[in-house]
Amino acid sequence: MQTPSNDLTARLVSGAAVVVVTVVFGALGGWWFTLFVAAAIARATYELWRLLDRAGYRPSLAVAWGTAAAAFIGIRLPNLFILIPALTLVLLVSLARQLQRAQGAQAHTFGDWAVSFAGGFYLGWTGGHLAELIVLPPDGRWWLALTLATLWSADSMAYAFGRLLGKHKLAPAISPGKTWEGYIAGVIASTLAGVILGRFAPFGMPVGAIVGVLVGALSPLGDLIESMIKRQAHAKDSGNLIPGHGGVFDRIDSLLWASVVVTYVAVVASGTFQLP
């Protein structure tokens, strides 16, 4: 049986390893980062499939992975116009397959198909935005750095202030540990991180501040959404791949929302109003 000190050590070591690996692949950029994100999304989709199974559904991993792949590739390679035909193919083939499953010994419902398709689309679509960060103008590494800096600042301060000063529950029915005090502290910390990084980055301090406010305010929704799913599945974590932190889905739930926010702020800031 592990002691609390051993749990904390495992959490710190594995957390540092995740940070280092993310920074290394972010520095490599290009397809290295895309493949890194794709692997994370594939694993997170598997973890979501297991959660849905524990929640009482009979989800299809093939449908979830297929939808996630179509959405991910469609965002990452928009000029190939692959998203619509790929999603249409997955939609029709998986529904036809669902008819066959529905006639089996253990009948599978339309709801089983729907959660598989929706879950895969959610992770693939938002994950595609995370991969897209690295190629956004003028230098995607700055946008990735801004995403990570604001998100990690928000998470750290929200956790610290929530434990020290938190009294008013943010979403008690979904995540009892989250408080409004922690949430506000996270928004402030995220904004300050955006301003500081913007001082040195090509996008400037105003854009950094806007991203900081939006990431701090909206990224907690990603965590709450996963908490909602885990609560329905009666699970503490989505997996145990990362000691002290749970699964990959646990680590990227807020990052996916932050990535979507930063992607579209970057698109507007560049004046192109379209993805590369």
Q: What is the DSSP string of 44-58?
A: HHHHHHHHHHHTT--
Q: Give the per-residue pLDDT at 273.
A: 61
Token pair of 172 as six digits: 């008690």
Helix H or strand E segment including 254: helix 248-270
pLDDT score for 97? 86
2-11: b or e for each residue (b if 16 or more CB lie within 10 Å)? eeeeeeeeee
Which residue's entry shows tokens 């390893």? 17
Q: State residue 1's pLDDT score.
A: 46
Query: What pLDDT, on a 0 to 100 scale, did the predictor assign at position 274?
Result: 66
| Each residue's pLDDT expressed in tens, for the chain with a length of 276 residues | 445 555 657 667 877 888 899 999 999 988 999 999 999 999 999 999 999 999 999 999 999 999 999 999 988 887 667 788 888 999 999 999 888 877 765 667 889 999 999 999 999 999 999 999 999 988 899 999 999 999 999 999 998 998 898 889 999 999 999 999 999 999 999 999 999 999 999 999 999 999 999 999 999 999 999 999 999 999 999 988 887 778 999 999 999 999 999 999 999 998 766 676
Residues with Cβ within 8 Å of 239's Cβ and at least 6 positions away in sequence, in order, are 43, 47, 50, 246, 247, 248, 249, 250
Residue 149: the pLDDT is: 96
- Per the listing, tokens 């955006």 go with 194
Give the dihedral sign, CA 13/16/18/20. negative
DSSP annotation of 203: T
**pLDDT of 35:** 96
